[in-house]
Every structure is written in C-alpha cells, then in structure tokens.
Structure 1
Amino acid sequence: MISSTLIKSIQDVMRQDQGVDGDAQRLSQLVWMIFLKILDDTEQELELMTEGYVPAIPAQYQWRAWAGDEEGLTGDDLNDFVNNDLFPALRKLSGGTNPRTLIVREAFEDSYNYMKSGTLLRQVINKINSIDFTVRADRHQFNDLYEKLLKGLQSAGNSGEFYTPRALTEFVVEMVNPLLDERVFDPATGTGGFLANAIDHKRKQVKTADDEKTLQASIRGTEKKQLPHVLCLTNMILHGVDAPTSLRRANTLARPLRDYGPGDQVDVVVTNPPFGGVEEPGIEQNFPADVRTRETADLFLVLIIRLLCNGGRAGMVLPDGFLFRQGVTTRVKERLFKECNVHTIVRIPPSAFSPYTDIATNLVFFTKGEATKETWYFEHRIPDHLKAYGKTNPIKASEFDGVRAWWDNREETDQAWRVPIQTIKDRGYNLDIANPNQQADPAASGLGSADELTIVNKSISEITSGFYDLLTTDTTLDPSTSFISNLTTELELPGVTAKLRNLLLFGAYRGLLSQSQEGEASGHDIVKNLRSSLSKATTRLLGAVNFTTEPEEPIPATWAWARFGEVAEIASNLVNPGSYQDAIHVAPDNVEKATGRLLNCRTVGEDGVTSANHYFFAGQILYSKIRPNLSKVVRVDFDGLCSADMYPITPSIDVGYLHGFMLSETFVTAASTLANRVAMPKINQKQLANLFVPLPPESEQKQISALLEQGFAWLQELDRLLERRAQLRIAISDSSLKDYKRQWTDARYGTVDTE
C-alpha cells in the first residue's frame, strides 16, 4: 500500500536539491519519472500477456534497467547517465511497431532533469520504486494521490491553470452522458481530468475485450503545453489506456477553422478551456472575421461548435465574464444560440476554484443542430454549514445531487428558472440573468447572500491590492498619491474606476511603471529610424515641423517625443459597403468612451450602411475623430468596416502601447484642444499626425502594453464587482428591514400601557 505521505516525502528530498527551483519544477521533475515508472510497469504486464510484444523503449533505457536496483547507479554516474544518455536517446526515438514509442518521444521533447545531485535523485527514484503500478490497489490509491498532487500544486506558476475540481468534471461528464462508441474530445486537456472521468463513465458500459478497445479508441484530446500534456498522458495510462496516441501536443486553435471537416467531428466535447488568456499573434486569423478575438475561451467555443457533429453534445466550464461580455463575445454567443440548443447553465459560486481563484464560473451544456428556444438556469449553492469553498472545504460531488434530481424533471424552484430565447435576444445576449425566484431572505442561499458579499469584498480587496502594489512606486505618482493611500474609502465614491484608469495611464506614460533593458535601442534611436522611412503622404501631413518643440511633461532620458504620424499610419481605405453586407460594422457609438472597450456591433447590412466606409484590418486601432474629448478608441482583432467618422490606424510601434496612450488624459486633452468646430468638434488627419507621443525603448513598450492589459481587465472586473456589491447591500438591507418589521406588533393608540 502507498503511504499518504509519499508525495510529500519526495518533494522534501527535491527541496534539498539546488537545481530544483519552486513547485513548478518539482512537479515537472516528478512527472517524467512517474511517467517512465508507470510505463515500465505496464510494459512488463503487456510482455507477459502479449506474445511477441515489442517494448516501446530499448532495454537499456527502461526504468527497470537503470532505476530498478536500489543499490544501482547513483551520484554523478546517475546524473551523467540521465542527462547525457537517457534524455537524448528518448528524444530521438523513431517510430516502430509500438505506438507507445512516439508517445515517449513526445513526452520527453521538452522535459528536463532539474536535479543536480545524483544522490538525491537516487533517493527520489527509490521512493517511486515503492509503488507497483501492476497492483490494482496501488494503482487505485495512486490515482487519488496523483489528483491531490495536481490540486496541491495549483499555485505552482502556470501549473495552476491545469486543474479543474473533480466534482465539476464528474458532474459535467455524467450530465453529457457519453455512450461507449461515442467520440469524446477535450480541445484543452490540461492534466486530463475530463477525459479521465469520461473513461470511468464509459467503462461501466464495457462488457467485452472489444468494448474496451472501442472505449480506448474513442478518447481524444489536445494540449499545447508540455507539462500538462505529460501529466495527461500519465493520467490516461493510470486510467488503463494502453497507448494514448489520440492525445496530441498541439494548439487546437492554430489550425484554420475552415480546415476542420467531417472527419474531425466528434459526438461529445467536455472541457474547461483557458479563459482570460491571450493567444499568440495571428491565431485569431484562423477564425471568421465576425468572431476574431484574443479571448481564448471565445475561440474555443467557436471551434467546439464546428467540431460537434449534428446532435453532438457539449458540457464546458466558462467564466462569468463570458455571460455579460459584449463585442465579439456577443457574436460568439449569438452563433452558439443559433446553431445549438443551449439547454442548461449551472451557475457555480465564486469560491469553487478557491483558494487559487475566486472567479465565478458556469457549467454550460448544449446540443448542436437545433436553435435554442429556452435556457434553464440552475443556481448551485454553497452548503449551509460553509461560508465559502476553500482548500480545506472543497466543492464535493455529492453537492450536485439536487441538480441531478432536477435534471430530468425540470420545474421552476428557488434555485431554477427558465429564460425564453426572445428575452436573451432582447438583452443583447447578456446571459448574466439574476434568479427571479430568489428567496426573500438572501441569507438563505449561497448566492445573493451575506456570504456572497464576503466573497465579493474579498475579490475587490485583491484587485485593489494589485493596484496598490502596481501604483505605489519609488517615484511619487503625483498628483494622486492620497487617492491610492485612501483607496478603500474611494471605492465607496462614484467614478473610482475612472480615477484608477487615469492614474494607471499617468504612471505608465511618465515612465514610472517600467524599466528599459541595458544595451537596447533608446526611444531616440527608434524615432530616428522611423523618421528615415516616412512615406511621402506622412511627410506631407507632418509638413515643416519643428521637432524641438516638445511637451514639457517629464519623461525618462531613454525616452523620446515623436509625432503621432511618425509612429503610426492614419489609413484611409474607403469602400462601397454594398459589397460587404456581412462584414462587422463599427461606428463611434459602438465604442465605450474612455475605456477602449468595444460594445455590441452588428453587420453592415443590419446597420443599413449606404455611404462609403473605411475597410479596417485586425491589429489596427479605430479612433473616432468626432468629439475627441469622449476618447473613443478601440483595438480590433477582426476585419470589418468602420464609419467614415473614424480613422483606422496602423501602428509602427507596439499596438497596445499606442492604444493605451490614446486613452490617456495627455492625449485626450491635446486632441480636444486642436479639434475644430463648436457644434461637433472634430480632429483632422493633419492635426492628429502632429500630436506628440512619448516613445520608450521597445522592451518598455511591451511592458506597458502588458501592464495596461492586466490593469484594464482588473478595472472591468472591479466595475462588475462594485455593482454587484451595491446590489447585495440593498438586498441584505431590505431583508434585515423585513425581519425587523416582522417583529413589530400591531399596537394601536389607546392600547399601550403608558404607566
């Protein structure tokens, strides 16, 4: 039997090694060793059971040969063998008759031996040797330990994004109910939690050896990152998949959507795609123009719709932001509801993934082939004895018994409600629909209660702490130092997110929040380079400019002032809209003022556009030249048409950096000052081209771009949380008042004893 302290004892040994830095590397180190041990144990079983079986690995590299003897290789000899013989050999394995060979090669492409001490490495190996994966009890118990290992290391850098609580994966798979011969796919497998549950679910239907072959052939998955991919392969072998060759290491989104054909379609998709992430440049070009975005969850959803066969079913985890987010996400949701029956959304409390994140999530279930007529919501609640989920009180599978009982006998309750499709359309596909059957006393439920208020306040505190750390620099962020110091008080006042945004932009474009790299080209070098390659059209716009007349605002010595026309092309590409009826149309009204957010857009045909519009491309910035004081500027990650009242702008510098500066008070004030006309102020191309832009070295442009992307995401979430907090305070206050009123007695004048 395996001791429950095994994993901890292995980690304790690794902590003594100078080469292993942090939990992420400890996990990576442990995984490749466990992978080889599991592989070798199962290979020995196959050698006994299968006549003429050819092992996946040459004899001298099998675990039993170099690691099996507890008194064998150790010290420098062991490390030398692992680093200079074992790893190079496994990375060069060529395909043979055993499909496992290619799996091994793929698993070791980016795996590393971080341990410097061969003596400590031998101690770890000997501890792993205490597990016999051919013994059913050991394998079953290690499954649980393996899951605890994954869960316990969620805070280990990027590895935290890979684990979904087992209670959620189990429930989703159970409700989607994959049949034995149905193809099941997870396009972002992580460590394989959903696929492991799908295997367990299907194995209950296995009666014969052929059934087992059918099961193993039906499991598919893709993961782009090395560590979770190897974790997933290991997980599949632990769950009895002999050769998980249908699990590929790749980016599912990297293939153009149109290239996925009938042969790629599947019956079932179960997944928790990464959300809040940004894909590598160009990935969005693999998708139709109307749904191009940098939000990975949206792209995965579009892909899933494509991959499901007619009648195919999906269950997936999506963040709350997906429900209410507008712009491209609205069009993704519209496509989903038109092509699929989104029959159920189970709302999960914010603490379900705690303590690693308090993002509220949703389990979304849909079937392809028929448009949605109505959607049922079910509100999963935290048990009465808990204030919130946490590391010591995780969400449990048994807590879904209520929704299981309701699933096939649906009726409205205080936890369940039905929303017709017309209501969803009327809301612009904003799916963040409150429970209309909420109990009068919000304290009686897990959501809409004092408990939720505690969670919301905690989330607000985490965001404000992030801003405090970000904006409390060695250099005073004058003029708003007192604002940061009193941020908790300021949060009770209107306009706090606008103030935070302005302060963030102020610090970013004064060079207070970034640092240049030693030896890189300065802003002055970049400006000189840009000026040497200006087009004739830009030169005409700039005219005879005195480049020494620069703003008085202080910037770092490595920065330079440049003209807008030197760092970006103000494009003009007027086209007849008649040929672009299905293209997305963006007008100034589709851009939220001062935030850089794109609101809900429609097509050219739906907007009834008849006059010439600019054709714009993904990667450009759209800027409203009308009323520049409103600061309507947005980055686009799709092609389309924009109003002639907007300028499509192609930056020669980092697009995020320039977009952020165009939102700053410095830029807005300068543009507003130059704008002509009183009734409808407007800035022309020449005026825009001659505005000044502070230009840092390239590395600082990227730092500031990433910083602003994070800051703007925090601000959007903070807006939502502050609004929710206000709603909760009112609800709780009303509930308390009702409780107080119920205690009143009906005392009439003349019946009260006044003595």
Structure 2
Amino acid sequence: MTATTDIGQKLWTLCDSLRDDGITYLQYVTELTYLLFLKMMQETENDHQLPEGYRWADLVGKNGVEQLEFYRSLLLHLGSKDSSKRVQSIFANAQTALKQPRILKKLVQSMDEIDWYSAKREGLGDLYENLLEKNASEKKSGAGQYFTPRPLIDSMVALIQPQVGELVQDPAAGTGGFLIAADRFVKEQTDELYDLPQELQDFQRQQAFYGIELVQDAHRLLLMNLMLHGIEGDVALGDTLSSDGQRLKRANVILTNPPFGTKKGGGLPSRDDFTYATSNKQLAFLQHIYRSLKPGGRAAVVLPDNVLFEDKQGRSIRADLMDKCNLHTILRLPTGIFYAQGVKTNVLFFQRGTTEKGNTQSVWIYDMRTNMPSFGKRIPLTRDHFQEFEQCYGTDPNGQSERIDQGETGRFRCFTREAIAKRGDNLDISWLRDESLQSDELQEPEVIAAEILERLQVATKEMEALMVLLEGEEAAEAVTASVGLPLL
C-alpha cells in the first residue's frame, strides 16, 4: 500500500466516524478541502501566501469552543479581499458544517499526525483525487455528477494526445479530472516538463489548462485539486452557457463531460453566439465546444444518447457539427459508469475543419454497450475495458489511422455521411443483437425506468416547443383580427 493510499484510507475512515454527527460525505470533503489547504500551505512552506494570524499553526494553537469560533472567522477572512485571488476562490462563501468543537479537534489532530513527507514524495494530488473518487462513488453524496470515471478520462486523453504548447479547455470542469489527466499526459512525455525550456514550462503550468465550473462547491474542490497537481491555469466560477463561455479563449483541445438535463428553469442559454437555441444543456454545450475549437483543434466529449437522436434543433446541431467538424468516431459507453443505473452515454471524437462545410465524410462507431456488463461496485470499470476500442481507434488522434469495419457481428463499424443523412442525421445507431433481450432474464427495473424517462423527457421538450409555436400563432391571429386584416 502506498503512503497516499494509506493516508486516504485514514481520512475516509475518519469521515465514517463523523457521519454519526450528521456530517455528509460532500460536507466532509468540502471541510477537508479547507483544512487540507491550510495544512498544505504549511507543509510546502507557502504560509506567506496567507494573511498573518490565519494559518494552520494559529488553528492548531487553539482548543474547544475558541478553536471552532476561530475556524469560522478564519473561513470568512480567507474568503475576503485580504487574500490572494486563488485563496479567495477556494474560500468564497465558505461555511463550516461542524457544530461540535470536539469534531474539529479530531480532524485537526488527525491531519497533524499524518506522515506528510511520504505523501508529498508520492504526490499530494493523488491523495486528493482518491478522496474525490470515494466521495463520488457514494450515491448519497450527490457528487457523482461532478466526477467522470478516471479510466474513461485516461482513455480519452490517451487518444486525443494533448501536446506541449496547446491550449486545453474543459467548459464543464467539475473537480478537474480532464485537465489533470491532460497535464499528466504532457508531463509523462517531457520528464515532468524538465525537458522543456523555461518559457514552455511556465506556459504549461500557468496557461495551458483552463475552463469554467458552474457550482461553487465543486469549483473550490477543483481549485484545490489543480493546486495539488501544480496547475495554475485560469478555471473560473461561471456559466459556460452565458457570456462567461463566450469569453473563453479558443482551444486546441477540448475534453469534457457536460452536465445532464435541461437548463435551470427550462430557459435558453443566455448567450448570443449560438445558431440554434435549445434548453437541452448537452446540445448547447456541444455548440459551445465545436465553435470554441481552433481550426484543426480536436475534442472528445461525453454526451447522453438523446444528443444522438433528438429531433428539430438536435438534428440541426448534429448536421452543423458534421459540417464544421470531422465527427470521425463515436464510442457507445456501457451503462452504470456514472453511478446511476440506466444512464446511457457516448463519447464523440471530432476535429474542427478549416472550412465550414462537408468536413464529415464518414463516422466510425464502436459499440462498448451491447452484451457488456453494467458496471458499478460489483464490476468496477478499469482501463483494460477500453483496450480493444483504443486498438480500433488507432494512434492518430484525429481518427486517421487505418481502420477495419468489423461488420454486423463486430463492435466497430463505419457509416457514410450519406447513410447517416438518410436516417435524418440520427446517430443513435446500433446493430449488434442484444443477447440479454433473447433470454428470460429481465433488465433491472431502474434501467427500464431510466430509459422510459429519457424518452419522455425528449417528448416533453418537443411538446413544449410545439405549445410555444401554437401560442405564437394564436397571438398572431388575435392581433390580425384586432386590426381587421385578413388571415393568410
């Protein structure tokens, strides 16, 4: 067992003991972020970045009610203008969920007793990633929506191959998994950046990785995660589907897993550069992504099935994507990997063209879903599960490696742009015979329910759009009648 694994287990076991006091997993990880930040500033000799009197040693030096009261004032003070921008962001609107002085004392003492020297040698970022993964795997924490499984991230990054000097964006950054994996990929090719001249080292640490996260609690976890991995890029708190997203620099690489569902309140994105207005967040994010790529830039994006088949604006957005980009590969992912049964997702791999029309000539689809297990705690997803797909994808990041269509009995097939157009630009394509449907074994009720709900949500949105259209026609008729004009 490594030092970071051992420390992570100790910290997580401590969380289990605190649950009896009403502390949730997410509250615990957030609380741990505050305390771990203070402790790391001390361990890395960066205490000078914090205001005097509001450091780890000051917290340790107090006891009982006085310590808890000081901790509350410390959180407030570090979120104020007396701190650096990064510190302010981590502690913005920070509040403690701790009510008992003894709980804070237990946390502080436990963290003070840890062998941080060994952890630092192995990498503090790995320790924090481990805690985030444990938190996400607990369904009750609700954090799974911010956490993409690391085997999937690592596979996507390995295929897209971010390079030194490239701008890498995640417009739905969550806790930073994609940015950190991209940074790790570059460091593995450059001896931890030491092979690079100083100017490029500075670029990789300070400018290469950037993005936006909407949720403040996730944003503070993200900043802490990036800090522990030595990444100083600008990852803002904001809404990509607003003018915040318009201000993001165009990227060479975009890696992301946008949030599922419709925009809050059912409204449309509040930005004026989208050609196709839609309340479907994934379709809106998809527009942002392919519009934000530099010519020749590439992307790998996790999206649910409804993006592949939704009609009207969905069809228009898919057609626009295939015009502006070469949508060369779709990976149909298995169910159960996002801590919710029945959620069906895909990875779309595409490259922005140098022209605005006709960039997609064919789309290769790999079916990793049919006749595959439903992954979860019983069958954990590993990088090995992506091995066959990665071999089929090839070594070229833009899907230009030589490929073989495996036919109706294989998992990897090619569909021409013309064939897709005949399907109404519907990319929800499957061909393998599902053996589970041929047996007497029924699917899990939650899987069936999730599939029904997905279809109902799409139908509901189409009905709402029709209602808006009908209301507009009725209003026009009323206005026309009031001024005595004939109806056309």
Give unpaired runs (5+ residues) of structure 2: 395-401, 480-488
Paired residues of 1:178 and 1:202 also in contact (CA < 8 A) = yes
Structure 1 counterpart of 2:138:
153
Q: Does the alignment pair 1:397 with 2:383?
A: yes
Structure 2 Cα separation of the partners of residues 291 and 91 of structure 1: 39
One-letter amino acid of the structure 2 residue matched with residue 229 of structure 1: H
The answer as to 2:165 corresponding to 1:196 is: no
What's the offset of the Cα at 1:283?
5.2
Mapped partners of 2:265, 2:128: distance in 1: 34
What per-residue deviation string (whole Å, max 9, x for no partner) do you get for residues 386-421 of structure 1? x42112322111111111111123111101111111
Partner-residue secondary structure (3-state), 1:367: strand
1 CA distance for matches of 2:341 and 2:153? 17
TM-score if structure 1 supplies the norm length?
0.55
- Which of 8, 15, 35 is the equivalent residue of 1:11? 15
Q: Does 1:373 pair with 2:364? A: no
- Comparing 193-202 with 3-12, greater Cα deviation is found at 3-12
The answer to whether the aligner puts 1:123 opposite 2:123 as a matched pair is: no
Classify the secondary structure of the residue corresponding to 2:314. helix
Shift of residue 265 of structure 1? Answer: 0.9
**Is the Cα–Cα contact under 8 Å of residues 373 and 420 in structure 1 kept in the other structure?**
yes
Assess, with a 3 A threshold, how the Cα gap between structure 1 residues 15 and 131 changes in structure 2: closer, same or farther: farther
Contact 2:290 2:321 in 1 (8 A): yes
The alignment-based identity, stated in percent, is 25
1:213 maps to what in 2? 202
Deviation (angstroms), 1:229: 0.8
The residue that corresponds to 1:24 in the other structure is 26
**In the alignment, what sits opposite 2:413?**
417
Matched, 1:249 2:237: yes
C-alpha contact (below 8 Å) 2:29/2:131 kept by paired residues: no
SS in 2 for 1:240: coil
- Which of the residues 164, 173, 190 maps onto 2:148? 164
Distance in 2 of aligned mates of 1:454 and 1:405:
30
Note if 1:427 corresponds to 2:420: no
Give the count of matched residue pairs.
454
Whole-Å separation in 2 of the counterparts to 1:593 and 1:380? 29
Distance across 2 between alignment mates of 1:94 and 1:594: 47
Q: How far 1:201 sits from its partner (Å)?
A: 0.5
Quick check: 1:592–1:598 contact (8 Å CA) kept in 2? no
Secondary structure of the residue that 1:294 maps to in structure 2?
Answer: coil
1:252 counterpart SS class:
coil
Shift of 1:381: 4.6
Matched, 1:180 2:164: yes
Match of residue 76 from structure 1: 65
| Number of the residue aligned with 2:215 | 225
Render the CA deviation track for 1:178-225: whole Å, top value 9, x for unaligned: 101110000010011111111111111222462432321201121011
In the TM superposition, residue 3 of structure 1 has moved relative to its aligned partner by 4.3
Asked whether the 8 Å contact 1:290–1:331 carries over to 2, the reply is no
Q: Is residue 51–residue 82 contact of structure 2 (8 Å, CA) maintained in 1?
A: no
Q: Name 2:86's counterpart in structure 1.
A: 103
How far residue 280 of structure 1 moved from its aligned partner, in angstroms, is 5.5
Give the direction of change, closer, same or farther, for the CA distance of 1:402–1:220 in structure 2 (3 Å limit): same
Deviations 1:561-581 (A, max 9, x none): xxxxxxxxxxxxxxxxxxxxx
Instruction: Give the equivalent residue in structure 1 for 2:326.
Output: 341
- 3-state SS of paired residue (1:596): helix
Q: Distance in 1 between matches of 2:367 and 2:342?
A: 17
Quick check: 2:342–2:450 contact (8 Å CA) kept in 1?
no
Task: Name the structure 2 match of 1:350.
Answer: 335
Segments of 4+ moved more than 4 angstroms: 280-283, 381-384, 447-453, 461-464, 591-595
Tell whether 2:43 aligns with 1:57. no
- Aligned match for 2:285, one of 300, 312, 326: 300
Amino acid at match of 2:204: L
Q: 1:283 to 1:592 in 2, by over 3 A?
A: closer
Tell me, in whole angstroms, the C-alpha distance in 2 between the residues paired with 1:113 and 1:418.
54
What does 1:480-495 correspond to in 2, within 5 Å?
none
Question: Secondary structure at 2:48's aligned position in 1?
Answer: coil
Higher radius of gyration, 1 or 2: 1
1:361 equivalenced with 2:345 (yes/no): yes
In the alignment, what sits opposite 1:459? 447
Query: What is the alpha-carbon distance in structure 2 between the residues aligned to residue 94 and residue 184 of structure 1?
Result: 31
Shift of 1:154: 4.4
Query: Secondary structure of the residue that 2:327 maps to in structure 1?
Result: strand
> Any idea what SS the aligned residue of 2:283 has?
helix
Does 2:240 correspond to 1:240?
Answer: no
Assess if the C-alpha contact under 8 Å between 2:360 and 2:417 holds in 1: yes
User: Is 1:89 matched with 2:77?
Assistant: yes
Show structure 1 runs of 5+ residues with no match.
48-53, 96-100, 467-496, 502-590, 600-619, 624-632, 634-641, 650-683, 687-755
Code of the residue aligned with 1:333 in structure 2: it is: R
The residue correspondences of 1:578-589 to structure 2 (distance < 5 A) are: none
Give the secondary-structure state (helix, strand or coil) at the position aligned to 2:134: helix
Shift of 1:422: 1.3
> 2:297 aligns to what SS in structure 1?
strand
Aligned partners of 1:594 and 1:215: how far apart in 2? 42
Shift of residue 4, structure 1, vs aligned partner: 5.2
Q: Indicate the SS of the match to 1:61.
A: coil
Aligned residue among 35, 38, 41 for 2:37: 35
Aligned-residue offset at 1:324? 0.8
2-structure distance, mates of 1:230, 1:593: 35
**1:687-702 pair list within 5 angstroms:** none
Counterpart secondary structure, 1:346 = strand
Q: Which residue in 1 is equivalent to 2:97?
A: 114
SS at match of 2:474: strand
Residue deviations 1:491-514 (CA, integer Å, cap 9, x gap): xxxxxx99xx9xxxxxxxxxxxxx
Report the CA distance between 1:285 and its aligned residue: 3.9
When normalised by structure 2's length, the TM-score is 0.83
Q: In 1, Cα distance between the equivalents of 2:229 and 2:107? A: 24
On the 8 A contact 1:187/1:222 being kept in 2, the answer is yes
Q: Please give the root-mean-square deviation of Cα atoms over the aligned residues, in Å.
A: 3.3
